[in-house]
Chains A and B, each alone.
Chain A
């Protein structure tokens, strides 16, 4: 994996130098940073940039300056008796989180850690922004099979966007966007070979197996592609291993650590689009280990994958498609953590109404996740309900639609409007 040139390359760089700097920080700040260093080869460029900037901040401060900045956190750790805990400095663990959360100083600790991080980042005054202010696209598809409620679908999406009616076949819009992005394939792939484009800039996340049929009739492109359906063999094996965890925090931490380090590649369970991408394989394992239903429900997988891709990679474009889940089978509402296809050999029965409820709120959560980051100002979000042939369109901050949202708009016309922002064109993202 190529590292981008120009990302905090001056001064102390690289995991070994960073480890020495991390040792100067309060104990409770260390596990997350050390964990990232231990996985350096499989971090996304944005994550490396964040660590490098933070380390530059630590390095920039004099010992007395760093001491003054972190003194309240050190004092808090003393009050919390962190040194008496079984606290891992190498990894974030469930036991770490549990010990922190049950401390009566937990809220104060969270605020103090945030203050130190903010101050360290602010101290790097000449830090280069990771991305230029280029437009970004988030396309979220609620497929035709999901009967999303027309009256409530868009009510909670906030004031920045507009509900619009799509005249004609709304599925056409997704096809146009995918083809537009695919047409960038050769250029982006070439750029990726040269190290000036990274596959983490473009994500395709699919609950079923629909996006791929549009994308992969061409040569492979430089993108990160995840499909819940395609991951089924891997998911089944992974869930079986995870369910061996006993009801004990330390044992569970040990199992999670071993799952994280397990060499999954020999099992031959990875789908083709992931098999040759160690960074994406690691992303999937982290996704499943961080929970939030990604192993159990396809729509939770899509939402959590979007959230994590945004947090870890800040991509230029995400296209995500939600899907159908089955109705709970006999007993599975008791043991929902289990694989219901394993629990019961009864055939799966689709649950369109409730899948629509799930997908609708999770699509909004995906936008809310994007809204937490500064890049949201340049982001154009389009959520399409194919069942209603409607969409919720959120233009970049300060931009107008340029057409009357009360009038229906055709898919080609809407696609042309997207093109005016350049969001369907992958751009080289070297600052």
Chain B
């Protein structure tokens, strides 16, 4: 990634997570933070939108996933056949993964999951604070309601922190554009001003799962300076920025500061496919491949994660087959295997012996598997524990 882009995103992520930390201190002051319990198990789930096997783990697609194929596959338990037997939309699929039950909800996230999420099971059974459960998402199709179910015994008081970093930058860009300066330099100046303003005053930021409060004067001045410099650098370039890169950097900061026990990250650069650009879809796959590799390296680098973390990586579903009446890779609406059958990779503590499990598994099998890793028993879930993993 271009240095100026990286600097901006890094600075923005630092600033945003700093806001979150301040808010967490005020909102959850009565709850003990668990970030210091470094001996605990950690699980990270990465979902990455709709990706066909043809563009990834079939021969035709290996060129798009050099890190997954060459660097991570040899040390993973790999499931080449995982089926999404539910609704192949983003909100329903991610809710299904998190609850272990096929969800049939409003596609645009207007209603919470109808069964308890893993976040709620963990927080209630293990008495964890909200800092220990995070969902960080690039995907516009989700809402913060995905962090907790509608079940009375569980619900938001046991829910996750839900953050949509991409929305932060979208808001900044759209507000800058709405200034309508025709002059090139003025337009850039407006963009810089708006970016700074929005990134530094995130209180009304709709992409956050909970409101951010706190005194701005408490912000680290060094961080503000860093942010300012990064924005200045960025506006002098014409380098594109992707939402998944920003989501990754926010996730990195959350891992460093909170070390949550359960972190769900949803990438979605690949969803540009809905607009019909195959080349940009492939670029999204390559970005995902690189970011998952960087994430795994981060897991191995951070003491809070090294040796005690299990990482799951899976597409939410595939995409429709070439020649389908739903316009092929553009969409994920058909019931064909191209859409409903995909792959999953598991790395880390629970994947002690590399293996390829040919037996078909399902998305709803993750929830009971992860619950068992945390020692949570007695859940009445339809999925089965994934084979070849250590509990």
Do A and B assemble together? yes
- Report whether A334 and B107 are in contact in the complex, using a CB–CB cutoff of 8 Å: no
Known interface pairs A330-B241, A357-B282, A368-B322. Does A101 touch B173 (Cβ–Cβ under 8 Å)? no
Tell me if B246 counts as interface (CB < 8 A to partner A): yes
Q: How far is the CB of A235 from chain B (nearest CB, A)?
A: 13
- Report whether B238 and A330 are in contact in the complex, using a CB–CB cutoff of 8 Å: yes
Q: Which of A335-381 contact B (CB under 8 A)?
A: 335-338, 342-346, 349, 353-355, 357-358, 361-362, 364-365, 368-369, 371-372
Q: With the chains together, A313 CA to B246 CA distance in Å?
A: 45
Interface hit among A11-19, A45-53, A298-306: A298-306
Tell me if A247 counts as interface (CB < 8 A to partner B): yes
Tell me if B62 counts as interface (CB < 8 A to partner A): no
Tell me if B40 counts as interface (CB < 8 A to partner A): no
- In the complex formed, the residue of A with least CB distance to B325 is A372
Q: How far is the CB of A114 from chain B (nearest CB, A)?
A: 11
Q: With the chains together, A329 CA to B330 CA distance in Å?
A: 22
Q: With the chains together, A344 CA to B240 CA distance in Å?
A: 11
Q: With the chains together, A337 CA to B243 CA distance in Å?
A: 13
| A296 cross-chain contacts in B, Cβ below 8 A | 275-276
- Report whether A330 and B174 are in contact in the complex, using a CB–CB cutoff of 8 Å: no
- In the complex formed, the residue of B with least CB distance to A294 is B276
- Report whether A335 and B107 are in contact in the complex, using a CB–CB cutoff of 8 Å: no
Q: With the chains together, A300 CA to B92 CA distance in Å?
A: 27
| B109 cross-chain contacts in A, Cβ below 8 A | 247
Tell me if B327 counts as interface (CB < 8 A to partner A): yes
- Report whether A357 and B278 are in contact in the complex, using a CB–CB cutoff of 8 Å: yes
Known interface pairs A338-B174, A365-B322. Does A358 touch B243 (Cβ–Cβ under 8 Å)? no
| B92 cross-chain contacts in A, Cβ below 8 A | 102
- Report whether A334 and B274 are in contact in the complex, using a CB–CB cutoff of 8 Å: no
Q: With the chains together, A343 CA to B183 CA distance in Å?
A: 13
| A361 cross-chain contacts in B, Cβ below 8 A | 278, 329
- Report whether B173 and A331 are in contact in the complex, using a CB–CB cutoff of 8 Å: yes
- Report whether A337 and B177 are in contact in the complex, using a CB–CB cutoff of 8 Å: no
Partner of B272, one of A304, A331, A333, A364: A333
Tell me if B280 counts as interface (CB < 8 A to partner A): yes
Partner of A344, one of B170, B187, B333: B187
| A358 cross-chain contacts in B, Cβ below 8 A | 276-279
- Report whether A329 and B275 are in contact in the complex, using a CB–CB cutoff of 8 Å: no
Q: How far is the CB of B220 from chain A (nearest CB, A)?
A: 25
Known interface pairs A102-B107, A333-B241, A334-B166. Does A303 touch B87 (Cβ–Cβ under 8 Å)? no
- Report whether A300 and B277 are in contact in the complex, using a CB–CB cutoff of 8 Å: yes
Q: How far is the CB of A372 from chain B (nearest CB, A)?
A: 7
Tell me if B323 counts as interface (CB < 8 A to partner A): yes
Tell me if A234 counts as interface (CB < 8 A to partner B): no
Known interface pairs A293-B274, A331-B169. Does A345 touch B240 (Cβ–Cβ under 8 Å)? no
Q: With the chains together, A346 CA to B184 CA distance in Å?
A: 7
- Report whether A104 and B104 are in contact in the complex, using a CB–CB cutoff of 8 Å: yes
- Report whether A346 and B238 are in contact in the complex, using a CB–CB cutoff of 8 Å: yes
Known interface pairs A98-B107, A332-B240, A344-B187. Does A107 touch B335 (Cβ–Cβ under 8 Å)? yes
- Report whether A365 and B327 are in contact in the complex, using a CB–CB cutoff of 8 Å: yes
Tell me if B106 counts as interface (CB < 8 A to partner A): yes
| B177 cross-chain contacts in A, Cβ below 8 A | 338, 342-344
| A299 cross-chain contacts in B, Cβ below 8 A | 276-277
| A300 cross-chain contacts in B, Cβ below 8 A | 275-277, 330
- Report whether A297 and B275 are in contact in the complex, using a CB–CB cutoff of 8 Å: yes
| A325 cross-chain contacts in B, Cβ below 8 A | 277
Known interface pairs A304-B327, A334-B242. Does A345 touch B108 (Cβ–Cβ under 8 Å)? no
- Report whether A357 and B279 are in contact in the complex, using a CB–CB cutoff of 8 Å: yes
- In the complex formed, the residue of A with least CB distance to B271 is A336
- Report whether B322 and A364 are in contact in the complex, using a CB–CB cutoff of 8 Å: yes
Tell me if B378 counts as interface (CB < 8 A to partner A): no
Encode contact with A along B232-244: 1 for CB under 8 Å, 0 otherwise.
0011011111110
- Report whether A292 and B173 are in contact in the complex, using a CB–CB cutoff of 8 Å: no
Q: With the chains together, A346 CA to B333 CA distance in Å?
A: 36
Q: With the chains together, A248 CA to B108 CA distance in Å?
A: 7
- In the complex formed, the residue of B with least CB distance to A290 is B327
Partner of B173, one of A98, A303, A343, A354: A343
Tell me if A229 counts as interface (CB < 8 A to partner B): no
| A364 cross-chain contacts in B, Cβ below 8 A | 322
Q: With the chains together, A328 CA to B272 CA distance in Å?
A: 12
Tell me if B328 counts as interface (CB < 8 A to partner A): yes
- Report whether B277 and A293 are in contact in the complex, using a CB–CB cutoff of 8 Å: yes
- In the complex formed, the residue of A with least CB distance to B327 is A292
Q: With the chains together, A342 CA to B180 CA distance in Å?
A: 8
Q: With the chains together, A106 CA to B92 CA distance in Å?
A: 15
- In the complex formed, the residue of B with least CB distance to A101 is B87
| A291 cross-chain contacts in B, Cβ below 8 A | 274
Tell me if B229 counts as interface (CB < 8 A to partner A): no
- In the complex formed, the residue of A with least CB distance to B103 is A102
Q: With the chains together, A26 CA to B188 CA distance in Å?
A: 56
- Report whether A335 and B330 are in contact in the complex, using a CB–CB cutoff of 8 Å: no
Encode contact with B along A90-117: 1 for CB under 8 Å, 0 otherwise.
0000000010011110110010000000
- Report whether B108 and A334 are in contact in the complex, using a CB–CB cutoff of 8 Å: no
Known interface pairs A102-B87, A338-B174. Does A293 touch B279 (Cβ–Cβ under 8 Å)? no
Most chain-B CB neighbours within 10 Å: which of A102, A300, A303, A355? A102
- Report whether B240 and A331 are in contact in the complex, using a CB–CB cutoff of 8 Å: yes
| B277 cross-chain contacts in A, Cβ below 8 A | 293, 297, 299-300, 325, 354, 358
Q: How far is the CB of B261 from chain A (nearest CB, A)?
A: 29
| B274 cross-chain contacts in A, Cβ below 8 A | 291-293
Tell me if B182 counts as interface (CB < 8 A to partner A): yes
| A257 cross-chain contacts in B, Cβ below 8 A | none
- In the complex formed, the residue of A with least CB distance to B102 is A104
Q: With the chains together, A368 CA to B327 CA distance in Å?
A: 9
Partner of B89, one of A101, A110, A355, A371: A101
Q: With the chains together, A343 CA to B175 CA distance in Å?
A: 9
Q: With the chains together, A69 CA to B155 CA distance in Å?
A: 46
Known interface pairs A307-B327, A343-B173. Does A336 touch B275 (Cβ–Cβ under 8 Å)? yes
Given contacts A369-B323, A372-B323, 8 further A-B contacts (CB under 8 A): A293-B330, A297-B276, A329-B238, A333-B241, A335-B173, A358-B277, A361-B329, A368-B323
Closest 5 CB pairs of A and B: A300-B276, A293-B276, A293-B275, A354-B279, A368-B323
Which residues of chain A have a CB within 8 Å of any CB of chain B? 98, 101-104, 106-107, 110, 156, 247-249, 291-294, 296-297, 299-300, 303-304, 307, 325, 327-338, 342-346, 349, 353-355, 357-358, 361-362, 364-365, 368-369, 371-372
List 10 A-B residue pairs with CB atoms under 8 Å apart, sorted by A's residue number: A102-B89, A249-B106, A292-B276, A328-B280, A329-B238, A334-B169, A344-B191, A362-B276, A365-B328, A368-B328
